[in-house]
Chains A and B, each alone.
Chain A
Amino acid sequence: MEMSFNGYFEVGIPRADTFELLSDPEKFLPVLPMYHSMQKKESDPNASIVKVKVGIGKIHGIATTEMFLQDNEPPQRASYVGKGNVMGGAYNLIVGFELAEAANGGTRIDWQGTTQIHGKILSIAGGGLRGIAEKEIIKVIDSLQDALVSKEHFESIGIAAQERPISEGFFASIVNFLRGLFGGDASADSAPVESPAEEEVPTTVTRGPLRKDAPRSVSTVVGKSIQIDADGNGGGKWTGQHLRRKEDERLLRGLGRFVDDYQGSDMLHMGFARSPYAHARILNIDVSAADALAGVVCIMTGPQVAEQTTPFMQIGAEPGALIQDHGIALDKVRYPGEPVVMIVAESARLVEDAIELVVVDYEPLPALVKSEDALKDEVIIHDEMGTNRSFHGVWDHGNVEQAFADAAHVVDIGRLHFHRFSSTPIETSGAVVTWSPRGEIDVISNNGLPGVTAQMLAAFLNVSTEQLRMKSEDVGGNFGTKTVNHTYIGLTAVASHAAGGRTVKWIETRSDNLASFHGGERTFLDTRVAMDAEGVITGVSSRHIDDAGGFLRYEPLGCSIWSQVYPGTYGVRNLHIDFSQVLSNKAPCTPNRGYSRMQHIWFMERVIDICAHEMGIPADEMRRRNYIKPEQMPYTTPNGNIYDSGDYPMMLAKAKELIDWDGWKQKQAEARASGRLIGIGIGSTVDSGTNNFGQVLYVNPDQVFSGNNEAARLKVGLDGSVVLTLGSAPQGQGHETTAAMVAADDLGIGPDMITVRTGFDSSWNTYAGLSGTIASQFAVTGLSAVHGAALKLKEQLFRLAAFALGASEEELEMSVGEMGPQVSVIGDAERAINFWMLSNLANSNISQVPEHLRDITLNALHVYKPPFEPVDVEKKIGNQTLTYAPQIHIAVVEVDRATCQPKILDYASVDDCGVAVNPKIVAGQVHGATCHGIGAALQEAFQFDDGGNLITGSFTDYSPITALNMPEIKCAATETPSPFSFNGAKGCGEGGGGPLHCVSAAVQDALYEEGIIVTESHNSPSILFELMAEPNAAQVVTNKSMAT
């Protein structure tokens, strides 16, 4: 950092005398108020060693700087060059004077000063250094001006200063150095700097213009600090402000570091020959031609990998736990795109060349594409399982039988189907792994759940978790899909080992990505709904089949996750869901934004809308009658989930207002009259956040995960800088910014004074077993960890500061002083000690503090553990997540009669994530989740032919939503703070799939009079074309008089 200052003033002393005073270090330097002592350097008559006093509170001392008289041109010019080193940094400074004769016989002094500061020391005062320096330089010039009243006066000050006794001790800090250099008070506690006796100012002396009027410019080059938006309104707190993100500074410049950005001249590259079949037996693999290619380093088949590894841990119980998953096919392939041969070569291009030379003989087997077919077990995908059903469980709560017996209306709904899609982050999966011969395994990847992944990898590789260094920096989106790229990371490690410990990089191509990671697919059968005479739903019974694809990579956890939102947003107390999961010959499913709950809520929303249409009750009124009431919050669902807060009817009213519900109703009627098909649909969701991993017991009672945890470390560095380390593995959610905001509020400083480390690194020793960015949890888990660490750090700072300032802890407060973050005595600004000084006492100046304070490290780790209780596995009752953030979406959709193309005409969403830590970031999450949902509802789908071939295997075919397809959306928020998080925040990143629900509802509303019920979550023109050709309303049957 460089800072320059300049200005001028006039004095009454003649130029020659002025020059003499300013050009003689022995006369000039002692005049500076911080002067301590000086000696001439023997080797250089122009050099002086100057000691200046620095210090604050009980800590004080002397800093040394070497000053040279560099440019000495009597009587016009004199300049000094100084340099010195301080802990963690170095500085140079140049002070120059140009002297000109003034009209009255005095001298005009044009001065200029430049300071360069290097090193870590810069972070001490964050963005505040400029202000400090500017203020201090003014003091110096003031003191010079005052001293230059007369030659005698000037010299007397210098003599007095030189005669002062020298105090002992040495203590250096650049901030204090600056303070000393520029003329601040050295130490409240040390011997006061004696002012020379007051002298009468000779009246004959003409003073120059007041310094304040003198032109002075200050230019600095410093890192930009976070700026507060004009509409920021935080009531003195950072939380709630619309802050620009810390992350942006590097990302906007193309300076982010993503996994593919790691490069090295000796780095190897890895890729796979993949299966062209959905289901086939491998008869023979011939890699001889590939092996012969120059630049190919090694080639491994599945059996060769299996010899060195243990199958990946299965989360679920048997029979799924019997699956032998090595991440690469052994004897047969089970989905199109499954890795079959692993190739390591000198470049990624050579890998592609070698893949083309691999010859594999396959014997095709019947492919299981439809979930119901898989359930028949006529063809078995994993022989060791003996069945394709990986999970079966029954959720039965309340008294469903009684509800149907008492019902006024019973509606039977035919097959509903939630389709496969993925949020496809623009950065594909990747890993760079180095398995050193010493046994250290360095894993750089974009995995989103490093704590659990490390446990998966260690078991697979037969190593300890502590041999693994898990690391990620910038991650190009995830949305859950990278949670389960562990098999590929494991194979990259195997490749590095096979290549003698050389670094191996694996970067997935887009086609590979689309073939490998799919969001969850679900089929809903035999649905029956009981209602009372008013259309209030009293019971739901249904059979659900979740389709996991060819392997269980995080599954069958989804078979439990959906029940976080068992009744959706509705008050129904009697539910019976028979839930199965099957394997099929499609890509393994991953968590994907809204994971497992979105599918279930879509089902509940279909139930509501179909029943509403059957009953002739408007969709909004149907919801009002069925919503959980605000006065019931916190609301315990039939399976023990505790919905923390939310006012669904109010949110619906707000969403209706936002979209002009009544206006659209009128337009809809007019359009219908002219033959146009316009529908208005509502989607009500709950985004459940902060998982209780104990729900894994629903799918495997022997599993050893429960509760949740997340870590954060906040420390004051050796140079006083504040560094925050997170256990989360962020992927674009702005963790650096929101974490800094929370810590800043706790410490009473600015977010730009806190350095937040980028990404995740297990070697920071700041993570917990369940660390990661999943399941809408950072706002609660991550920020609670930060808050906890900040409180611990603050406690340590106060204990130490109380000693240093001779005060009690109760008298202290955190603030930002001229020397950066500090602890000060309330109401006494002079009694303050900055973070650097405190860190010095804690970490470097040990014997200065008494024994009872030597436990203080100013390095505080906090692991937050949400207050979860074990779940009741038998009854399937327990609180599965900590927060439940509702969203209400409304879409107006027109379906073109000729093309069957659905088009969104208007869109509104109202979300409630409790207290928004940074509303800008929350809004961004809402926009993103909405866009994913709209894309999935209208254009994105993994589609298969009967042979199981993926026919949307490139972006061109899959067609992710672009700016052209994304409609303008109207957003609003309500704020009902969560009573369960320290800051009232709820996780909101996933969004609950609102657009899928409201678009399906709107399409149905548009087509209901055509005899059409929407039974697919995907509303492509081809699907609607088929529905228009063969209306399906008959699949819904209503019996209107069961018990009345």
Chain B
Amino acid sequence: MPESVVVDVNVNGVAYQREIEPRLLLVEFLREEIGLTGTHIGCDTSYCGACTVTLNGRLVKSCTCLAVQADGGEVCTVEGLEQNGELHPLQEAFSEHHGLQCGYCTPGMLMASKSLLEENPSPSREEIRKGIAGNLCRCTGYVNIIKAIDAAAVKMQGV
């Protein structure tokens, strides 16, 4: 295996080229190579979802994806949700409905919710539960997260 490889990854619309260890995980690439620390690490078995981002439009747990797998791809992280100083409706709803406490799971939770609403713009509460089943939150009991996603869906539908 080579000691290093060069990858080109577009993150939140910005192109990055880095020379990295081939074993570097995508989450490590995001946090350590390009300094986007909003994507968090919460476990080592792909269970918690704190590291959830999208790669080429699909939801991935970036701790279970090598950075080289993202070579030539497009990654979107929590830092890319805000547009022109405006929070994403999900971000607004999470704050409005107190869907976050410590904020550690929040970036992954937002990415999973965004993906959910893109696939299913008006999910039932049960569908919301399924949509975020891969993301752990230890603070909120999920109650207000579900409420927030529900509210954001309604708002986004109304626009």
Chains A and B form a bound pair: yes
In whole angstroms, what is the CA distance A637 to B53 when docked?
53
Residue of chain B at shortest CB distance from A959: B47
List, in ascending order, chain A residues with CB within 8 A of B101's CB. Answer: 477, 732-734, 924, 928
Task: List residues 106-132 of chain A with CB under 8 A from any CB of chain B.
Answer: none
Task: List residues 58-102 of chain B with CB under 8 A from any CB of chain A.
Answer: 77-79, 81-82, 85, 87, 91, 94-96, 98, 100-102
A254 on the interface (CB 8 Å rule)? yes
Task: List residues 267-308 of chain A with CB under 8 A from any CB of chain B.
Answer: none
List, in ascending order, chain A residues with CB within 8 A of B95's CB. Answer: 244-245, 248-249, 252
In whole angstroms, what is the CA distance A78 to B144 when docked?
55
Question: With A245-B95, A955-B48 in contact, do A962 and B138 touch (Cβ < 8 Å)?
Answer: no
A763 on the interface (CB 8 Å rule)? no
Question: With A221-B85, A263-B32, A966-B142 in contact, do A427 and B43 touch (Cβ < 8 Å)?
Answer: no
B18 on the interface (CB 8 Å rule)? no
State which of B103, B136, B137 has its C-beta within 8 Å of the C-beta of A256: B103
Smallest beta-carbon distance B44→chain A, Å: 5
In whole angstroms, what is the CA distance A930 to B82 when docked?
32
Smallest beta-carbon distance B102→chain A, Å: 3
Q: Are A927 and B144 in contact (CB under 8 A)?
A: yes
B23 on the interface (CB 8 Å rule)? yes
List, in ascending order, chain A residues with CB within 8 A of B136's CB. Answer: 426, 955, 960, 962
Q: Are B39 and A928 in contact (CB under 8 A)?
A: no
List, in ascending order, chain A residues with CB within 8 A of B103's CB. Answer: 247-248, 250-252, 256, 474, 476, 732
B42 on the interface (CB 8 Å rule)? yes
Question: With A252-B100, A928-B101 in contact, do A477 and B139 touch (Cβ < 8 Å)?
Answer: yes
* Chain B contact surface mostly: loop
In whole angstroms, what is the CA distance A247 to B104 when docked?
12
What 0/1 readout, one digit per residue, does chain B (92-125) give for beta carbons within 8 Å of chain A? Answer: 0011101011111111001000000000000001
List, in ascending order, chain B residues with CB within 8 A of A476's CB. Answer: 40, 42, 102-105
B143 on the interface (CB 8 Å rule)? yes
Residue from the set B23, B41, B125, B143 with the largest chain A CB neighbour count within 10 Å = B143
Question: With A253-B78, A477-B104, A732-B101 in contact, do A963 and B142 touch (Cβ < 8 Å)?
Answer: yes
In whole angstroms, what is the CA distance A969 to B41 when docked?
29
Q: Are A252 and B87 in contact (CB under 8 A)?
A: yes
Residue of chain B at shortest CB distance from A924: B98
Residue of chain A at shortest CB distance from B129: A963
Residue from the set A249, A252, A509, A929 with the largest chain B CB neighbour count within 10 Å = A252
Q: Are A477 and B102 in contact (CB under 8 A)?
A: yes
Q: Are B38 and A248 in contact (CB under 8 A)?
A: no
Smallest beta-carbon distance B66→chain A, Å: 13
Number of A residues contacting the other chain (C-beta, 8 Å)? 58
A428 on the interface (CB 8 Å rule)? yes
Residue from the set B32, B45, B138 with the largest chain A CB neighbour count within 10 Å = B138
Smallest beta-carbon distance B131→chain A, Å: 8
List, in ascending order, chain B residues with CB within 8 A of A929's CB. Answer: 141
Residue of chain B at shortest CB distance from A927: B141
List, in ascending order, chain A residues with CB within 8 A of B85's CB. Answer: 221
List, in ascending order, chain B residues with CB within 8 A of A477's CB. Answer: 101-102, 104, 138-139
B37 on the interface (CB 8 Å rule)? yes
Q: Are B141 and A930 in contact (CB under 8 A)?
A: yes
Task: List residues 313-357 of chain A with CB under 8 A from any CB of chain B.
Answer: 349
Residue of chain B at shortest CB distance from A252: B91
State which of A260, A425, A930 has its C-beta within 8 Å of the C-beta of B138: A425
State which of A258, A263, A349, A962 has its C-beta within 8 Å of the C-beta of B133: A962
A1035 on the interface (CB 8 Å rule)? no
B140 on the interface (CB 8 Å rule)? yes
List, in ascending order, chain A residues with CB within 8 A of B128's CB. Answer: 963
List, in ascending order, chain A residues with CB within 8 A of B135's CB. Answer: 962-963
B9 on the interface (CB 8 Å rule)? no
B151 on the interface (CB 8 Å rule)? no
B153 on the interface (CB 8 Å rule)? no
Residue of chain A at shortest CB distance from B32: A263
Q: Are A251 and B37 in contact (CB under 8 A)?
A: no
Q: Are A924 and B43 in contact (CB under 8 A)?
A: no
Q: Are A254 and B38 in contact (CB under 8 A)?
A: yes
Smallest beta-carbon distance B108→chain A, Å: 9
Residue of chain B at shortest CB distance from A221: B85
B50 on the interface (CB 8 Å rule)? yes
Q: Are A955 and B32 in contact (CB under 8 A)?
A: no
Task: List residues 398-432 of chain A with CB under 8 A from any CB of chain B.
Answer: 423-428
List, in ascending order, chain B residues with CB within 8 A of A928's CB. Answer: 101, 138-141
B158 on the interface (CB 8 Å rule)? no
In whole angstroms, what is the CA distance A70 to B110 when docked?
48
B145 on the interface (CB 8 Å rule)? yes
List, in ascending order, chain A residues with CB within 8 A of B7's CB. Answer: none
Q: Are B143 and A252 in contact (CB under 8 A)?
A: no
Question: With A254-B36, A254-B78, A732-B103 in contact, do A428 and B42 touch (Cβ < 8 Å)?
Answer: yes
Q: Are B48 and A426 in contact (CB under 8 A)?
A: yes
In whole angstroms, what is the CA distance A968 to B128 when docked?
13
List, in ascending order, chain A residues with CB within 8 A of B43's CB. Answer: 426, 510, 954-955
List, in ascending order, chain B residues with CB within 8 A of A932's CB. Answer: 138, 141
List, in ascending order, chain B residues with CB within 8 A of A221's CB. Answer: 85
Q: Are B104 and A258 in contact (CB under 8 A)?
A: yes
B26 on the interface (CB 8 Å rule)? no
List, in ascending order, chain B residues with CB within 8 A of A475's CB. Answer: 102
Question: With A248-B94, A251-B100, A924-B101 in contact, do A969 and B138 touch (Cβ < 8 Å)?
Answer: no
Q: Are B110 and A252 in contact (CB under 8 A)?
A: yes
List, in ascending order, chain B residues with CB within 8 A of A733's CB. Answer: 101
A920 on the interface (CB 8 Å rule)? yes
Residue of chain B at shortest CB distance from A926: B141
Q: Are B140 and A425 in contact (CB under 8 A)?
A: no
In whole angstroms, what is the CA distance A253 to B107 when docked?
8
B146 on the interface (CB 8 Å rule)? yes
Q: Are A732 and B78 in contact (CB under 8 A)?
A: no
List, in ascending order, chain A residues with CB within 8 A of B141's CB. Answer: 927-932, 966, 969
Residue of chain B at shortest CB distance from A509: B44
In whole angstroms, what is the CA distance A631 to B51 when docked?
52
Smallest beta-carbon distance B126→chain A, Å: 9
Smallest beta-carbon distance B48→chain A, Å: 6
A511 on the interface (CB 8 Å rule)? yes
Q: Are B21 and A349 in contact (CB under 8 A)?
A: yes
List, in ascending order, chain B residues with CB within 8 A of A249's CB. Answer: 95
In whole angstroms, what is the CA distance A50 to B41 when docked?
57
List, in ascending order, chain A residues with CB within 8 A of B146's CB. Answer: 963
State which of B40, B82, B94, B98 has its C-beta within 8 Å of the C-beta of A258: B40
A479 on the interface (CB 8 Å rule)? yes
Q: Are B138 and A254 in contact (CB under 8 A)?
A: no
List, in ascending order, chain A residues with CB within 8 A of B134's CB. Answer: 962
Question: With A245-B95, A251-B100 in contact, do A927 and B140 touch (Cβ < 8 Å)?
Answer: yes
In whole angstroms, what is the CA distance A150 to B122 when docked?
64
Q: Are B132 and A956 in contact (CB under 8 A)?
A: no
Task: List residues 928-954 of chain A with CB under 8 A from any CB of chain B.
Answer: 928-932, 954
B130 on the interface (CB 8 Å rule)? yes
Smallest beta-carbon distance B13→chain A, Å: 15
List, in ascending order, chain B residues with CB within 8 A of A956's CB. Answer: 45, 47
Q: Add 6 more A-B contacts to A229-B96, A244-B95, A477-B104 (CB < 8 A).
A: A251-B103, A260-B37, A427-B42, A734-B101, A962-B133, A964-B133
Residues of chain B whose beta carbon lies under 8 Å from any beta carbon of chain A: 21, 23-24, 31-32, 35-45, 47-48, 50, 77-79, 81-82, 85, 87, 91, 94-96, 98, 100-107, 110, 125, 128-130, 132-146
Q: List 18 A-B contacts (CB under 8 A).
A: A245-B98, A249-B95, A252-B95, A252-B110, A253-B38, A256-B103, A258-B37, A263-B31, A426-B43, A426-B48, A427-B42, A474-B104, A477-B139, A510-B48, A732-B101, A924-B98, A924-B139, A963-B137
**Across the A-B interface, the 3 shortest Cβ-Cβ residue pairs:** A254-B38, A732-B102, A476-B104
Residues of chain A whose beta carbon lies under 8 Å from any beta carbon of chain B: 221, 229, 244-245, 247-258, 260-261, 263, 349, 423-428, 474-477, 479, 509-511, 731-734, 920-921, 923-924, 927-932, 954-956, 960, 962-964, 966, 968-969
